[in-house]
Amino acid sequence: TALNAISVSTELIEEELKPHLDTLLAMLLEKKKGAAVEIASSGVLPTLAQSLRRKSPLTNQVALVVAEMAREAAVRDPCIDAGLVTVLVPLLNSTDEELLLHTGRAIGRICFDNTAQQDELVHSGVIPRLVDIMKLHPENDPLVNVCLLALCNLADMGNTVQYAQKAPENSPRFHLFSFIVVMLFSDMLKLQFVESGVPEALSEMIRGLQGGSDPHDLCSIKIASSLIVSLLLGDESMQKCFGEGKGVVYQDVLSWLQSSNNQLQLSGALAIANFARNDSNCVKMLELGVVPHILTLLEQHVDEGDVSVQHAGLSALRNLAIPASNKVRMLEDGVTERIRTLLRSDMPPVQFKLLGTLRMMVDGQENAATVLGKDEVLLSRVMEWCEARDHAGVRGEANRLLAALIRHSRAPEVISAVTKADGVRHLISMATSEHVIMQNEALVALAIASAIDIDSMEESFRKAELLPTLQKMLEDPVGAVEFKFSALGLICSLVNSSTMKEEMESLNLKETLTKLSGHSSTKLATQADTVLAMLCETS
């Protein structure tokens, strides 16, 4: 058989080897099940490697055989072990386009999903060579696509580009190829691509492909829109694309939000979130009316929707709400009412982003915090999420929103609603968090609530053993100074309650405070003295 003939000798001359290679190739091209594994296990791989090393007239055919074999995942490791990758790489320096095509396919398939082998290829200088091949042969569509796929695999960008759109030289697609390649090397080059009009070319390409159902076109839309989003990660390139809200890319991004294509919706929301990293951009986008588009998009995906789109849309809203002037405007436009529909989401990523967005909306906004803080439906859902055992992020954001509603509203009716919803125990639990920021937020919220309505809080404080918890934290030798300062602020509020004061005396809290009076932090020592004086006055 052909397998035996090739495997028994490494010295077969070309005339004898060719018919056997023809036989192997026929087996592979027939897609006969198990053919590649049978060939690999016969012992012919070292012979094929030796033939490639000699660069004979059969080199093209041998490279094609290897490329076809490597379609099967099971033969890839044996190909590596036989040294085929090592002998294939130098063939990328050939000027023969057919050989380059077979070699590129063989290397790409053998090394697919093999991180160690891909690292070796990068170190051997394969990336610049693949770029050169694309530059030298832009009109050879199959060859360019093979190089592109290899580059994207090396960049860990996945294999979606195998469907890359067919298009002639100098088309937007070729800009797309070039853009991907450049992004592999340096973020510094992104700005140069923006200045040379690549994002506009990508946007134009997307406009031309929208509305179709061809899988190749849909994949090209996905790649192009994702690349534009990646480009916006650079501050300077992002600002150039924004162009004070008049840039072509920004205008196209707005149209993506209104597209029926989920991928464009996702990329559009992510792009807006990136544009909104700059406060002046946020103000400008609000003036230009971006928020209603995002809200409409979110509402489309509330039930059985795309979690990624919801997550991205909420990220955009959260960033847009950072400037204080935007918060006021967004609240006037009814943003909080419209995003409340997402409260029924059972997807943790959406819950997490929704909580963070609401927290940003009430930051420094007394009216908004009061309205939301009295909302029984919202509070009920937040209480559920405060106990989300499997999702620490959701749990943390729920607690932070609860504290924010009290801190920013300072309203008796909010404190009453939170107490009624059994939220006090969550705030006390939050005060013992390992995160200092969360500890402080909880303590400040509890101090405000105590100062406004200590009577309604006493029972909850006793049940949750608040004072023993605070005393333990004040006595912790490695506890953060800022946390202890906030804890003392809370105790100041509690001193006004005779019930809480009695508990302080039974715990001998005065001794704890006396020790803190000698603390190296003057600020903390002074606060301890103040609380101690208040405690003595009311005794």
Supply the pLDDT for residue 158.
Answer: 39
- pLDDT digit string, tens, across residues 273-319: 999 999 999 999 999 999 999 999 999 998 778 899 999 999 999 99
Q: Which residues contact 43 (CB under 8 A, 6 or more apart)?
A: 7
Report the phi/psi class of residue 247: left, alpha or beta, with left for phi > 0 and alpha for psi in -120 to 50: beta
User: 403: number of CA atoms within 13 Å, CB side?
Assistant: 26
pLDDT score of 166 more than 80: no
Number of domains within the chain: 2
Name the percent of the chain lying above pLDDT 70.
Answer: 89
Residue 485 lies in a domain: yes
Residue 455 lies in a domain: no
Average pLDDT of the chain to the nearest whole number: 85
The tokens describing 439, both together, are 């500890």
More confident residue, 316 or 188: 316
pLDDT score of 272 more than 90: yes
Residue 221 lies in a domain: no
Please compute the mean of the pLDDT values over residues 68-74 and round it to a whole number: 90
Supply the pLDDT for residue 67.
Answer: 92
Dihedrals phi, psi of 346, to nearest 5 degrees: -105, 15
Residue 371 lies in a domain: no
Residue 205 lies in a domain: no
Helix (H, G, I), strand (E, B) or coil at 210: coil
Question: Count of CB atoms within 10 A of residue 461's CB?
Answer: 25
The band of 165, judged by pLDDT with boundaries at 50, 70 and 90, is very low
The tokens describing 292, both together, are 């209603």
Angle (nearest 5°) at CA 426 between 423 and 431: 130
pTM: 0.65
The band of 168, judged by pLDDT with boundaries at 50, 70 and 90, is very low
Please give the residue range of the domain that contains residue 509.
Answer: 465-539
Query: Which of 163, 193, 211 is where one domain is finished?
Result: 163
- pLDDT digit string, tens, across residues 431-461: 888 788 999 999 999 999 999 988 888 888 8
Residue 99 lies in a domain: yes
309 in Cβ contact with 325 (< 8 Å): no
Query: Which of 121, 148, 163 is where one domain is finished?
Result: 163
Q: Which residues contact 489 (CB under 8 A, 6 or more apart)?
A: 443, 444, 447, 527
CATH code of the domain in which 54 resides: 1.25.10.10
Q: DSSP label at 166?
A: P
Query: Which of 100, 134, 163 is where one domain is finished?
Result: 163
pLDDT score of 216 more than 80: no
Helix (H, G, I), strand (E, B) or coil at 147: helix
Residue 278 lies in a domain: no
Q: Which residues contact 53 (CB under 8 A, 6 or more apart)?
A: 87
Supply the pLDDT for residue 446.
Answer: 94
pLDDT score of 169 more than 50: no
SS3 content of the chain, % helix, strand, coil (to 5): 75, 0, 25
Residue 397 lies in a domain: no
**CA-CA distance, 96 to 77, in Å (whole number)?**
27
- pLDDT digit string, tens, across residues 455-502: 888 888 888 889 998 999 899 888 888 889 989 989 988 988 888 999
**How far, rounded to the nearest angstrom, does the alpha carbon of residue 382 sit from its chain's CA centroid?**
24
Angle (nearest 5°) at CA 196 between 192 and 202: 105
**CA-CA distance, 410 to 412, in Å (whole number)?**
7
- pLDDT digit string, tens, across residues 513-525: 999 988 888 899 9
**CA-CA distance, 269 to 253, in Å (whole number)?**
8
